Amino acid sequence: MYRDLFTVFFRIGAFTIGGGLAMLPLIEAEVVDRKKWITKEDFTDLLAATQTLPGVIAVNIAVGVGYRLKGLKGALTAVTGAVIAPFFAILALALFFKSFRDNPVVERIFLGMRPVVVALIAVPVITTMRAIGLTVVTGLIAASSALLIWLFGVSPVWVILAAGLGGYLWYRVDKYRKRRAGR
């Protein structure tokens, strides 16, 4: 099982361009659909929990999956698999970057990869929205939050705090309304 954990996360780490968010659909496909190590609901819960933690989301997911399957040793195995290939790739790029950074061919290659990376980041957003059953209203809240941050420069911390407060208030109002309806 440890070899399997390492291999899955090594393969994902080695062949995914675009960072942690771009890895999410591949991790989900491997650990939920292909290996069936965790359920879709568990993956969604794990994704929500790991997004609240500092650090790279793919590493946090690797920790969560590895820990869920094999405890601390599983977490260490999965993380090692996820980071070892990107670590050496970044090291190699850093060593040779000066010699090819102004090369027009390299610039065009990176320019061509940008839309694919955006798509790889969009996929987990869409699948997570479907998995948690977002409604039109919650979708509008998400879009409004993104616009506040992007267009108006509002700090994400304030948006998160406001959303948390709004959720709490909604919970209290809904609970009060149900209690009144039950009388």
Measured CA to CA, the distance from residue 83 to residue 81 in angstroms comes to: 6
Same domain, 48 and 116: yes
| pLDDT for residue 126 | 76
Q: Are residues 99 and 167 in the same domain?
A: no
One domain, residues 64 and 82: yes
Number of domains composing the chain: 2
Report CA 131 to chain centroid distance, whole Å. 14
Last residue of a domain, one of 117, 133, 149: 133
Closest CA to 77 of 87, 88, 65, 89: 65
113 and 163, same domain (yes or no): no
Are 57 and 120 within one domain? yes
Pseudo-torsion of CA 157, 53, 129, 156, nearest 10°?
10
Distances (CA, A) of 84 to 2, 17, 72, 89: 15, 14, 18, 9
How confident is the prediction along the chain (183 residues), in pLDDT tens digits per residue?
899 999 999 988 887 776 777 788 888 889 999 999 999 889 988 888 888 888 888 889 999 999 999 999 999 999 999 999 888 888 887 887 777 777 888 888 888 888 887 887 777 777 777 777 777 888 888 889 999 999 999 999 999 999 889 989 998 998 888 888 876
| Angle (nearest 5°) at CA 130 between 45 and 5 | 45
How much is the pLDDT for 32?
Answer: 92
Look at residue 41 in the predicted model and tell me its pLDDT.
86
pTM, whole model, 2 decimals?
Answer: 0.60
The residue among 133, 151, 167 that closes a domain is: 133
Q: Say whether both 93 and 165 belong to one domain.
A: no
The values of phi and psi at residue 28, to 5°, are -60, -45
Comparing C-alpha atoms, which of 51, 19, 39 is closest to residue 118?
A: 19
Same domain, 106 and 149: no
Residues 129 and 158 reside in one and the same domain: no
Question: With contact defined as beta carbons under 8 Å apart, do 13 and 23 qualify?
Answer: yes
> Where in the sequence is the domain holding 158, given as residue range(s)?
135-183
Cα(55)–Cα(76) distance, integer angstroms: 15
State whether 82 and 153 are in the same domain. Answer: no
- The answer to whether residues 59 and 145 belong to one domain is no
Phi, psi of 58 (to 5 degrees): -65, -35
What pLDDT score does 130 carry? 74
Q: Are residues 153 and 79 in the same domain?
A: no
pLDDT confidence of residue 183: 65
| Residues 75 and 123 both lie in one domain | yes
